[in-house]
Structure 1
Amino acid sequence: MLPQHGVSSQRCSPKYIIQANKLQYSTRDTVQITVRGSTKSNTFKGILLVAKTKTKQQIIGTWSAVGSNIRTLNCDGNRNTGITHNSASNKLSIKALWHSPSTITKDPIVIKQIVSGYTSTIPNTRSSTPIPVTTPSIGPQNNSNEVRINWTYENGVTSVKMQINNLKTSQWLALGLSLDNKMGEDHVFVCKRSANDQISVIRCINPLGNSPTVLANTIANLIGTLTPTSLALRNGVAYCEFNLSNFSDSKRRRRDISPLSPSTTYIPLIAIGNLDSSDGMTKHTSRAALSENVQLNTRIQIIYNGDRIA
């Protein structure tokens, strides 16, 4: 499928972002897809969305429109198998719903898209990675202990999404941001599944040495604010989503730990443990330091096999 607007295709730098509200689906499931500009100035006029299997490139599932500025279209004679625009008005973002089929394919689903301003270039859909929009891959629900953590940074806010397969009742999993690969002086973000299957997220600090993890609100002059945005348990997958903001502080103060900073390079730590009868964290049963370095002001995706730490 290729739009015909009389403009030749050309590769260009990413200006648009495509996001899915979940990275795994079950039969007859619904996934919300959002396409938006990476900044407020990156508006677009045209949009084309199609879901295809990653390997065989087969169109899969159906779509429904959210709002009046987009509509469904028929691809290869199949009804409601794509999304396109209704008008050439400037758009900052659009949302659409993708509906999975009644049977599961093991092949991940890739959302193919074209975003156009009409006055600029129109990416060629024949490219294996359409430009200039990032493409999420949506996989079938599985029983592995995979951990997916990703974040984006915009206007001083880091938006974090933690997705944990098979997090058990009365169990927690944490992401630590460390200046080295050892415990101590780490910023820690914990996703908890309580005894009544409620999902919550808290911020903690690992003090010096092997001291127990403490809640962040007990530390004086701590920089950064955690704001939960979405907490859910669906089909055995725990979702902990939150924003990190208010990184800056103009005052020089004595602190027990180095400030959380979007420009600092950290080593990610993954740890898992159990909750006590009061939903308090007990000492981790296992932990792992990852090999990559990360920063909170860049787009990051961490995919980790939880079987290695469970």
Structure 2
Amino acid sequence: MSVSSSCLPSALALFLLAGCAGSVDGGKFSALRDAASQVNRGGQASFAQLRREARDSAVLSYADRKVGVQGFPLVNAQGESYDLAAPLSRVAASLDALDCYAQALAKLAGGGKTEDIDHASQNLAASLRGLQASGMDARAANGVAIVVDALGQAMLAAQRREGLRGVMDRAQPGLDALAQMIERVDADLKLYLLNIRLRYLNLVNRDGVRPPYHSWERYRFDQAVAEQLASYDRLDQALAATDKAVRDFPELHRQLRASLDQPGRPVDRLHDFIAEARRLRALYREMPDS
């Protein structure tokens, strides 16, 4: 039975009111929720920084001609027009969806007030609609639709543990497809960042650009270059951390699902995910305007 996203709040509320006789280790799901939120914030900050770097690179590498109505368009390594907004919107929407999904799982696992469940459900439904609108491929889109249905099916569960089992089992294929899509997009973003770095170095190393050796002007110039290269490094590390967190999410999800059947089973991927989230948080705090 398919349940539309508009039915999610009442469905989840009925699930909670149906009784929570099945004990669940809600702490693991709370930890997942917090880490997913950190990954989302760090990823969004990284994407904002990448937009700024792309804009600056477009200005620096603009040819010696009049500025047109399009301003300074982004180009790839071949000098062709490059649409940065499309891949960024897909990754950003994916992180937001994973964040909201983790929030919803934590609510299901830990119980809570009906209005809290309603709020988490509405957020998830909205994030999934945004994900579908971002231009994701059909396989991942179908998987996302199943996540919505799976949450609706929780209303049929008599116990909290059974409700989580149903939701997580049906969500797993969609999470796998989403991670595969993000891996491809992130590879393109990292390649574009490399192109930005190379264009910057090409400009720096042009004849007559750097001040004379042993001058204070040269020292200050090279300091600025070093800081810019360090900024590229931080951004590259942040993109890599975001990519790893998303790619590892499906296996982490499997371990959490297995822990519902075997409560004592270790969930080592959760510790890795939390560590990656903290690393990403440290990186985005060093970024400008973060």
Q: Same-fold call, TM > 0.5?
A: no
Name the structure where helix makes up a greater proportion of residues. Answer: 2
Task: Give the alignment's TM-score, normalised by structure 2.
Answer: 0.23
